DNA sequence: TAGACGTGGGT
DNA sequence: TACCCAAGTCT
């Protein structure tokens, strides 16, 4: 036996990956976009990519129905690339972070135009596409193409920060987390390894109540069963959210209501919406026929609905049947207002 | 680099 | 209730 550190490191890292993969073989979640461990099926890069974009900052429960809907409407990358913007934005409505949907289309079209309709099969090529950052490039490279990429999402940050007891606060800790994880990535099953860590973070090494008793990598975990497990990773303090106010216009003609499309780079950009004022710090004086409160990531909003006779002369938009507003693809903020109107109108 | 960017569910 | 959290990316 060699006495070189690399030899012992290899044994230890191999054992770590094997314990994790054995657990994953038994406990993997069944998900619509996932090829089960042990399956002979080959992952479809389109489905892997689509799921990864949808899952950014979004729960599995929220994504599942949207993933099913998108793959039914657009079964292949070419189908999505050829879709109308309005249809894709409407199908995304309610999922949030709408820049993802705009970039989704831009990415699909770039792959068709610049890559012959096939995703690049390495991190660098993927990373250059719209909406694909460090995480998604690594995840698609590992899961769809079997590349030994170091995949680090919020689950994996938590698992590794605890397992190695990394005290550096996020996001600075990311570098140390990557460095700690890199030696453990197995060449044979890098995609399953990444998904195993994510499942572990979602089911065992959870933020508030880690279940160390059932953790497959607890043996060499530096915080196993201690209060440090709940304390880590260290996160920066949160800032207070401001409160803003706005007015939306309810412009009705017979059984239709006037909708406009929001500017591409604005909040809720590219989405159909009720027209209205800019959102400001001061509440409006107009008298409202309805009102909703909505909480965004970085501010809270009170939006008043005010009746108007007709759209602005220069406004571009469309009359939409009120009975069919569910199909308009409104962001949740506006869907709340619309629902309020339907309750009161009967 | 820090702030912008949605939404729903859990505690 | 209020806050935290979720398979991040872009500028």
pLDDT of residue A344: 78
Low-confidence ranges of chain A (pLDDT < 70): 1-11, 345-346
pLDDT of residue A5: 36
- Which pLDDT tens digit goes with each residue over A227-257? 999 999 999 989 999 999 999 999 999 999 9
pLDDT of residue A178: 97
- Identify the structural domains of chain A with CATH numbers, from first to last: 5-231 (1.10.340.30), 243-345 (3.90.79.10)
Tell me which protein residue sits closest to nucleotide C8, measuring alpha carbon to C1'.
Answer: A56
pLDDT of residue A245: 96
- Which pLDDT tens digit goes with each residue over A148-181? 999 999 999 999 999 999 999 999 999 999 999 9
Using the structure, give the distance in angstroms from the CA atom of A329 to the C1' atom of B7, rounded to a whole number: 15
Please state whether strand B lies within 7 Å of residue A206 at its CB atom: no
To the nearest 10°, the Cα dihedral for A199, A201, A202, A207?
180
Count of other CB atoms within 10 angstroms of residue A308:
15
Using the structure, give the distance in angstroms from the CA atom of A133 to the C1' atom of C10, rounded to a whole number: 9
DSSP A204: T
Task: Give percent of chain A above pLDDT 70.
Answer: 96
Count of other CB atoms within 10 angstroms of residue A221:
19
Lookup: nucleotide whose C1' is closest to A59 CA: C6
pLDDT of residue A345: 66
Q: Residue A102 region, left (φ>0) first, then alpha (ψ -120 to 50), else beta?
A: alpha
What's the Cα-to-Cα distance from A152 to each of A76, A99, A176, A214, A337, rounded to whole Å? 27, 22, 11, 22, 38
- Which pLDDT tens digit goes with each residue over A117-145? 999 999 999 999 999 999 999 999 999 99
Lookup: nucleotide whose C1' is closest to A202 CA: C6
């Amino acid at each position: 036996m060699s006495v070189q550190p690399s030899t012992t490191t290899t044994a230890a890292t191999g054992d770590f990956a094997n314990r994790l993969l054995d657990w994953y073989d038994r406990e993997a979640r069944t998900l619509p976009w996932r090829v089960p461990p042990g399956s002979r099926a080959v992952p479809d890069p389109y489905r892997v990519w689509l799921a990864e974009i949808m899952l950014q900052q979004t729960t599995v429960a929220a994504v599942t129905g949207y993933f099913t809907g998108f793959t039914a409407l657009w079964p292949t990358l070419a189908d999505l690339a050829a879709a109308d913007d309005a249809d894709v934005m409407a199908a995304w409505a309610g999922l949030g972070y709408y820049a993802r949907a705009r970039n989704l289309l831009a990415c699909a079209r770039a792959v068709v135009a610049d890559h012959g309709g096939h995703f690049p099969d390495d991190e660098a090529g993927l990373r250059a596409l719209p909406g694909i950052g460090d995480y998604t490039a690594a995840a698609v490279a590992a899961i769809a193409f079997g590349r030994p990429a170091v995949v680090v999402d919020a689950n994996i940050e938590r698992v590794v920060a605890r397992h190695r007891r990394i005290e550096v606060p996020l996001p600075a800790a990311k570098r140390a987390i990557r460095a700690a994880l890199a030696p453990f990535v197995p060449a044979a099953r890098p995609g399953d390894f990444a998904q195993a860590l994510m499942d572990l973070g979602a089911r065992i090494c959870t933020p508030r109540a880690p279940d160390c008793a059932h953790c497959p990598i607890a043996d060499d975990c530096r915080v196993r069963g201690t209060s440090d497990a709940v304390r880590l990773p260290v996160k920066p303090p949160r800032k207070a959210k401001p409160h803003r106010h706005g007015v939306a216009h309810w412009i009705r003609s017979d059984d239709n209501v006037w909708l406009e499309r929001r500017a591409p780079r604005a909040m809720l950009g590219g989405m159909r919406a009720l027209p209205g004022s800019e959102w400001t710090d001061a509440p409006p004086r107009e008298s409202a026929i309805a009102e909703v409160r909505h909480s965004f990531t970085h501010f809270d909003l009170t939006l008043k609905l005010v009746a108007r006779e007709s759209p602005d002369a220069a406004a571009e938009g469309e009359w939409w049947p009120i009975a069919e507003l569910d199909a308009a693809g409104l962001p949740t903020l506006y869907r709340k207002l619309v629902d309020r109107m339907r309750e009161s109108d009967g």
